[in-house]
Amino acid sequence: MRPMQHSSKINDVRYELRGPIAHAARKMEAEGHRILKMNLGDTAPFGLEAPESVVVDMIRHLRGAQGYSDSKGIFSARTAISQYYQTRGLMQIGVEDVFVGNGVSELISMTLQAFLENGDEILIPSPDYPLWTASVTLAGGTPVHYLCDESANWWPDMDDVRARITERTRGLVIINPNNPTGAVYPRRIIEEFVELAREHDLVLFSDEIYEKIIYDDVPHIHTASIADDVCVLTFSGLSKAYRMPGYRAGWVAITGPRAATQAYRATLELLASLRLCPNVPAQYAIQTCLGGYQSIDDLVRPGGRLREQRDLAHRLLTDIPGVSCVQAAGALYLFVRLDPAMYSFPSDERFVLDLLEEQKILVSHGTAFNWEKPDHFRFVILPTTADIEEAVRRIGVFLGTHRRSAQQAEQLALPAVG
């Protein structure tokens, strides 16, 4: 048989969060090693489970959830989503403006496929959640990365954003709160994005999946709340705030002038119909989640588990010589910097692999998030305080050994005196 050829569309697609390094970790686990996993934002392995009321409600609806639903999602779920946004000041979001999906990941792909022509450019933050870059590429578009400024709380460098807009630019991705940096953007940044969209006739793709995971009372601004005259696609779901990533329940809400978005909405309805419907049992959880007690608030306020683990991880990591980190204002991650003057690795991927092999710690390398410099890694704050303390201790041992080796090599390279 002639060897099967893979599609050329996949040539520039990367998703290294589940790539070779993760494969190496699984191989080590199969050999009997215990790996401390500080790499993925999956709440379930760390005892952060979905609220009991949500699970009970899903079980009660299982008998009635065996058939297909409306391709856009069941009416009660879309109504709950619409009403949730209306309580947040987004009065323009009605039931028909909402599409439910098998997680936000599916909807990112669907919305881009319905939108892009080959060669169209989409601006995406650097660092980013790499699914955005991969999905733009698979849809035939060209991802163009704008810089976020580490020295300014990881907020977007708006001058850099403007400089990257061309006649082929059709849309702009905002990830707020940001993965991997934990940045939460102030109103003025969102207003500048909206003004750019007006000026250049761009569509805004606003990924807000971490909107409820906010620390220190930092306000979260919905992009669509200040952009009535601009087309905005707002993405969110249950995977993070409600600790149910495996249930795959996400949504996108479309706002903006209806006449200008009518054809696009029809195309998105077609793609939604082609996948038949989102998984039905998880849709029954949406109304319960959005309308009930918000247990995530207990986790992110002072004394809450996520808040305490964020603070602990940040303090311990930045106590290591040559390690710095902008404190996260939201989400579940710290994006940690290694001082290149103190630590010299062939690549950040090599750093992560060596750390895995020597200390049995798994983190994610920064270039996997389309950050151009090999000097960062992402550290997840979900594990217990004991695991965070142990993981950082091992990272400190590893970096201390590397630091001493580099100093010894430097001393050997010095010319003899006398």
pLDDT, residue 416, reads 53
Cα–Cα distances (Å) from 179 to 103, 132, 246, 393, in that order, read 16, 11, 19, 24
pLDDT, residue 256, reads 92
Q: For 110-157, how does the pLDDT look when each residue is reduced to its tens digit (9 = 90+)?
A: 999 999 999 999 999 999 999 999 999 999 999 999 999 999 999 999
Is the domain of 230 the same as that of 264?
Answer: yes
Answer whether 375's CB lies under 8 Å from 366's CB.
Answer: yes
Is the domain of 112 the same as that of 253?
Answer: yes
Percentage above 90 pLDDT, the chain: 78
Quick check: 211 pLDDT over 90?
yes
* CA proximity to 82, closest of 363, 323, 291: 291
Mean local confidence (pLDDT), 398-410: 74
Q: For 214-249, how does the pLDDT look when each residue is reduced to its tens digit (9 = 90+)?
A: 999 999 999 999 988 999 999 999 999 999 998 999
Whole-angstrom distance, CA of residue 337 vs CA of residue 346:
15
Is the domain of 42 the same as that of 66?
Answer: no
pLDDT, residue 5, reads 80
Mean local confidence (pLDDT), 282-303: 92
Whether 388 is in a domain gets the answer yes
Say which CATH number the domain at 15 has: 3.90.1150.10
pLDDT, residue 405, reads 67
Q: How many folded domains does the chain comprise? A: 2
Q: Are strands 36-37 and 142-149 parallel, antiparallel or unpaired?
A: unpaired
Q: What residues does 173 pair with on adjacent strands?
A: 205
Quick check: 347 pLDDT over 80?
yes
Q: For 372-381, how does the pLDDT look when each residue is reduced to its tens digit (9 = 90+)?
A: 999 999 999 9
Say which CATH number the domain at 138 has: 3.40.640.10
Whether 1 is in a domain gets the answer no
Whether 2 is in a domain gets the answer no
Is the domain of 256 the same as that of 394?
Answer: no
pLDDT, residue 409, reads 56
3-class secondary structure, 304: coil
pLDDT, residue 213, reads 97
Is the domain of 250 the same as that of 329?
Answer: no
Mean local confidence (pLDDT), 398-413: 71
pLDDT, residue 404, reads 67
pTM of the entire structure? Answer: 0.92
- Residue ending a domain, among 257, 291, 325, is 291
Is the domain of 269 the same as that of 314?
Answer: no
Confidence of residue 406 (pLDDT cuts 50, 70, 90): low
* CA proximity to 310, closest of 398, 209, 392: 392
Quick check: 417 pLDDT over 80?
no
Alpha-helix runs per DSSP H in 301-347: 305-318
Is the domain of 269 the same as that of 123?
Answer: yes
Whole-angstrom distance, CA of residue 100 vs CA of residue 71:
8
Whether 255 is in a domain gets the answer yes
- Residue ending a domain, among 234, 265, 291, is 291
The token pair at 121 is 């450019």
Whether 417 is in a domain gets the answer no
Domain range for residue 322?
Answer: 8-48+298-411
What lies within 8 Å, CB to CB, of 398 at 6+ separation is 354, 355, 358, 359, 361
Whole-angstrom distance, CA of residue 133 vs CA of residue 108:
10
Q: For 3-57, how does the pLDDT look when each residue is reduced to its tens digit (9 = 90+)?
A: 888 788 777 777 776 778 888 999 999 999 999 999 988 898 888 988 888 889 8
Query: How high is the mean pLDDT of the chain?
Result: 92
Confidence of residue 188 (pLDDT cuts 50, 70, 90): very high
- Residue ending a domain, among 291, 307, 336, is 291
Quick check: 412 pLDDT over 90?
no
pLDDT, residue 13, reads 75
Is the domain of 310 the same as that of 166?
Answer: no
Is the domain of 96 the same as that of 84?
Answer: yes
Q: For 327-345, how does the pLDDT look when each residue is reduced to its tens digit (9 = 90+)?
A: 999 999 999 999 999 998 8
Answer whether 177's CB lies under 8 Å from 169's CB.
Answer: no
Is the domain of 252 the same as that of 367?
Answer: no
Q: Burial code of 306-341, b = ≥16 C-beta within 10 A, e = fewer?
A: bbebbeebbebbbebeebebbebbbbbbbbbbbeee
pLDDT, residue 62, reads 87
Q: Are strands 203-207 and 169-175 parallel, antiparallel or unpaired?
A: parallel
* CA proximity to 267, closest of 117, 120, 122, 138: 117
Percentage above 70 pLDDT, the chain: 96
Whether 416 is in a domain gets the answer no
Whether 346 is in a domain gets the answer yes
Is the domain of 316 the same as that of 254?
Answer: no
CA-based end-to-end distance of the chain: 72
Q: Scanning the structure block, which residue is given the tokens 């705030």?
A: 241
Whether 70 is in a domain gets the answer yes
pLDDT, residue 411, reads 56
3-class secondary structure, 28: helix
Is the domain of 40 the same as that of 87?
Answer: no
Confidence of residue 263 (pLDDT cuts 50, 70, 90): very high
Confidence of residue 108 (pLDDT cuts 50, 70, 90): very high
